[in-house]
Structures are given as structure tokens and as C-alpha cells.
Amino acid sequence: MHQFLQQIFSGLAAGSIYASLALALVMIYRATDLVNFAQGDMAMFSTYIAWTLVNAGTPFWAAFLITLVASFLGGMAIERIVIRPVENAPVLATVVVTIGLLLIFNSLAGWIFSYTLQEFPSPFPDRTLFGALMTTHDLGVIGVTLVMLVLLFAFFRFTATGLAMRAAAQNPDSARLCGISVGRMFAIGWGLAAVVGATAGIMVAPVLFLDPNMMGGVFLYAFTGALLGGITSPIGAVAGGLIVGVTENLVGTYLIASQLKLTVALVLIILVLVFRPNGLFGTPIVQRV
């Protein structure tokens, strides 16, 4: 029983990471109608920036904030420069562009920072809590994710820019008629998604160790979580990410420990999708006849 609870909690911590990245994916999907396959590697690159700052002596939380700002600007720049040209191109073109972006970030990271595994410091003291039920790091991850989610929710719900972004995502033509620059809203959306991704990367690096391929598995789980929740639903993204995290842990502990864990977890989740093809909270991708 104790082990079961342990697995649930560490699953929730892992799930928070997946939920964050899943949320970033959903934000971009809702705004610009595409899946950003490079989201994970963009987060990895941001994490390397944080790592560089920390190694140069910057205190952790300062490095964290600076990285978030840099990621925001980077995300906006990528939307303007890389994504804008294919916004109206066929779907496959956007898939290829984000895959290309993935390759570029991955390769650049390996070149600039080398492929050796690096240690990444955790800002949370190294202790276990509640009788070894969970680590402080896990609790910290869940906490940081919660704070971020609350801030995002407040931003979209209560600020004028947040409202404008929701409008631009729902109905770009009408948004323009209200004087909203839809292009700028998309750029901000990508910036915010990059911030969310960077947070996920920095939170997971102490556990997974930092290397250019760190976010590959995380991305896959996050993508799964986003779809499980429904690619159009932010709440679904969070719920989906958490469910995937817990499922992955339980499968790994009780079913099959080897590399096949990933396959089995995916299969289980896909089975859920067979019964709910639009995810748990998603709305069908409506096509006008």
C-alpha cells in the first residue's frame, strides 16, 4: 500500500511535467491550429540556458526567471520567423516545419553544450517527506506547476490581452474587426507556451539529467496526455498529463519494468482513445460541410 501511494505521488509529479508540456501543446493548437512537435526540444534548449546561467554562478530562481523571459522572447521570434510562412500552408507543411525545428534545436544543443549527461541542480532540498511517501522535489514540482497554472488561468480570464488571445484563437476574422492584431496574439501564445515548456524542462532536469534527448520521452507522454484530455481542452491537457504520469508509474512498477513500459503505457491510453476518439474533455474537431 505504501509503495502504491508512493507511486501515485511520484506519478503525479511526473504527470505535472507532462501536464505542463501538454498545456503548451494545447495552447498552440488552439491558437494556430497545429501540433508543435518541437515543443519538447525547445524546452530542452531553454533548460540548457538555465543550466549555463546556474553554472556561471547565478542563483537558481534568478536563472529561472531570466530563462523564462528569454524563452518567451524566443517563442515569439520562432512564431514570427519560422511558423508565420506556413500558417496557411497544407497541414503536412506545418508538421514538417516543426519536425525541422525539432532537429535544429536538438542538434544545436548537442553542438553547443555537448551530448554528455549533465547534472542539473534542484532548488528543493534533498529530503523525503511524510515517511518516504514523496520527495521534496516531487512536491516542489507539483507546487510550481500549480502556481504556473493559476497564473495562466488568471491571465487568460482576467486580462485584456488574455481575452484578446482567446478571441484571436476562436475567431481570427472577428478579432481583427475588433482591432486585435491576430499575428501578435499568436506570437504571444507561442511565447507563453515556450515559458510553460521551459518550466517543465527545468523541473524535470534534476530527475532525468540534462542531455539533448532529455525531453523526447517527456514530449511523447505530454502529447499523449494532451490528446487523452482532448487536444482542444486546456483542463483536459492537465488532467491527461496527470493521468499519463500516474499510469506510466504504475505500469512500470506493477506490469513491466523494461523498455517496453513506454509501449504498454501508450497502448493503454490509445485504448481509451478508441472509446473516446476526441479525448476525455475534447470537443470533436468540427468540419463544416
Partner 1 sequence: MAPILELRRVKAFYGQSEVLHGIDMVIADGGMSVLLGANGAGKTTTLRAICGMVRSQGEILFASQRLAQRTTEAIAGLGIAHVPEGRGTFTGLTVEENLRLGGYTSARGSLANMQRMYAYFPILADRRRQQAGALSGGEQQMLAIARALMMDPRLLLLDEPSFGLAPRIVENIFTIIERIRREERVSVLLVEQNASLALELADQAYLLETGYVVMSGSPKTLADDPQIRRSYLGY
Partner 2 sequence: MTVRKDLAWVFPEKLAVRSVAFGRGVRRWIGPLVLIVIAAALPFAISNYHVFELTLVMIYAIAVLGLNILTGYNGQISLGHGGFFAAGAYTAAILMHRYGVPYWATVPPAALICFALGVLFGLPALRFEGPYLALVTLAMAVATPQLLKYFDRWTGGQQGINLTKVQPPPGLGIDRDRWLYLIVLLVLLMAIRVASNLLNGRTGRAFVAIRDHPIAATAMGINAARYKTLAFGTSTLFTGIAGALSAIVISFVAPESFTLFLSLSFLVGSAVGGIATIGGAIVGGLFIEFVPNFASDISDAAPWAIYGLAMLLFIYTMPRGVVGTLGPWLARSAPENQLAAPKE
Chain positions contacting partner 1, by CB under 8 A: 160, 163-164, 166-167, 170-171, 173-182
* Beta carbon of residue 161, minimum distance to partner 1 (angstroms, whole number): 9
Which partner from the list partner 1, partner 2, none does 86 bind, CB cut-off 5 to 8 Å by kind? partner 2
| Count of chain residues binding partner 2 (CB under 8 A) | 46
The answer to whether residue 89 forms part of the interface with partner 2 (CB under 8 A) is yes
Buried b (16+ CB within 10 A) or exposed e, 88-97: eeeeeebeeb
Residue 36: closest CA among 51, 22, 47: 22
The answer to whether residue 260 forms part of the interface with partner 2 (CB under 8 A) is yes
Which partner from the list partner 1, partner 2, none does 278 bind, CB cut-off 5 to 8 Å by kind? partner 2
* Beta carbon of residue 18, minimum distance to partner 1 (angstroms, whole number): 26
**Complex with partner 1: residue 129 or 285, whichever CB lies closer:** 285
Q: Could you give the string, one character per residue 168-197, with x where binding to partner 2 holds by CB under 8 A and - elsewhere? A: ------------------------------
Instruction: Return residues touching partner 2 (CB under 8 A).
Output: 29, 35, 82, 85-86, 88-93, 95-97, 99-104, 106-108, 110-111, 220, 223-224, 227, 231, 258-260, 262-263, 266-267, 270, 273-274, 277-279, 285, 287, 289
